[in-house]
Structure 1
Amino acid sequence: MFPDTPVTSAALSVATRFCSPALLNHCVRSYLWGVMYGGAHGIAFDDELFCVAALLHDIGLTDAFDSHRLPFEDAGGRLAWVFAVAAGWPQERAARAHEIIVLHMRDDVPAADDPEAHLLQVATSWEVVGRHAEEFPARARADVLTRYPRLGFGAEFLGCFEDQARRKPDSAAAASVRRNVAGKIAANPLETHQG
């Protein structure tokens, strides 16, 4: 399922150690949705880089790595940089992991400009608010959700974003809360396992 490299195995170990079961499954599903979408659209991407970014993209929401000053995506991206350099990646490649994680909370990035960030944006917006539902057929949804169930992800994630919004009112998470992320999460077909 994941690229068979020591770095992706280590990223999975980190995510498993520090993420709740619901957040871990979200990160794994984000990788799977991104790969599925990329394959369907013929998007060439660096699978190892995308996998590491997907597995670590929400690590800044965890108690161990939450920053009281930085938006969660920047804190998580910085951790991904440290992780990647420690795993032996060149600094430039580690910087790409940081960039992808930060960009997943920004305005849409075209696949031609940054395929990995584009895939993470598509996958996470599908995962959280149901955007791009037409890209993921019912059979694929059922298969992924059977292997990696949501485990109350919507409510847990909303709680994380509301906490971020209270403490970091200028963050992208706070902007999402102001734009009714709660209603969008509730309406996401993945929340009801339909679609």
Structure 2
Amino acid sequence: MFPSTPSATAAVSVATRFYTPALFNHCARSYVWGMKYAAAHDITFDDELYFVAAMLHDLALTAPFDSHRIAFEEAGGDLAWVFAVAAGWPVDRAARAEEIIVLHMRDDVAADVDPESHLLQVATAWDVAGRRPEEFASEVRAQVLEQYPRLGFGEEFLACFEDQARRKPDGAAAAAVASNGAARIRANPLDQ
């Protein structure tokens, strides 16, 4: 189901090494949810680019890559840029991976403006907080969760965001926590 390119394989290697199993599965689910959503809405996108961004988008929540100075999505974008350049991508393509990761925590991006950022926004909002449940049929949910179980993801992710919010009060994680993010995460239908 994942793209079979050297960059995609390398992204899985990085994700496997640095994420907990729950965070790895979240990133894999984010890719799959985005794929399902794109198919349902006839959204054309760059599969490899979206996959790499989906797999690396939370890397800056892990201890080895947590920046104490900038928001996790910005640090994660920087990491994706470094990864992509090291993988041999042109600088403009690396910048797209960075941009997708930064934008997934910003205001909604329209699919016709930036399909990869839109897909990551929709997929992560669904996986983290249960937004847009009507987009994902129960049989699709069951298949994805069987392949990539949640493994306590909601509480682990909430702990990461609360930690980010304490240390980086101006970041997107702090805004999410301040706007009742904990209740949304705990009410996610994927955990019911």
Q: Could you tell me which residue of structure 1 aligns to residue 114 of structure 2?
A: 114
1:66 matches 2:103: no
Q: Which amino acid aligns with 1:178?
A: A
Residue equivalent to 2:187 = 187
Which residue identity does 1:145 align to in structure 2?
L
Q: Deviations over 1:54-100 (max 9, x none)?
A: 00000010001000001000101100000000000000000000000
Report the AA paired with residue 175 of structure 2.
A
Q: Is the 8 A contact 1:130 1:190 kept in 2?
A: yes
1:8 matched to 2:8? The reply is yes
In 2: Cα distance, 1:183 partner to 1:106 partner: 20
Once residues 170 and 4 of structure 2 are traced to their aligned partners in structure 1, the CA distance between those partners, rounded to angstroms, is 39
For residues 1-80 of structure 1, the aligned pairs below 5 Å read 1-80=1-80
* Distance across 1 between alignment mates of 2:184 and 2:191: 10
Q: Which runs of 5+ in 2 are unaligned?
A: none
Q: Per-residue deviation at 1:191?
A: 1.2
Moved over 3 A (4+): none
TM-score of the two chains, using structure 1 as the length reference: 0.98
TM-score scaled by structure 2? Answer: 0.99
Shift of 1:29: 0.1
1:91 paired to 2:91: yes
Distance 1:22 1:61 in 2: 13
Aligned-partner residue type, residue 174 of structure 1: A
Counterpart in 2 of 1:125?
125
**Paired position in structure 2 for 1:157:** 157
Give 3-state SS (helix, strand or coil) of 2:64's partner. coil
d(CA) in 1 for partners of 2:160, 2:61: 7
* Secondary structure of 1:159 counterpart: helix
Aligned-residue offset at 1:186: 1.0
Deviation of the 1:125 alpha carbon: 0.2
1 CA distance for matches of 2:181 and 2:146?
Answer: 25
Residue 64 of structure 1 aligns to a residue whose secondary structure is helix
Aligned length: 192
- In 2, the alpha carbon distance for the partners of 1:65 and 1:147 equals 27
Cα deviation per residue 1:154-190 (whole Å; 9 max; x = unaligned)?
A: 0000000000000000000000000011100111100
Amino acid at match of 2:7: V
Say if 1:185 and 1:191, in contact at 8 Å, map to a contact too: no
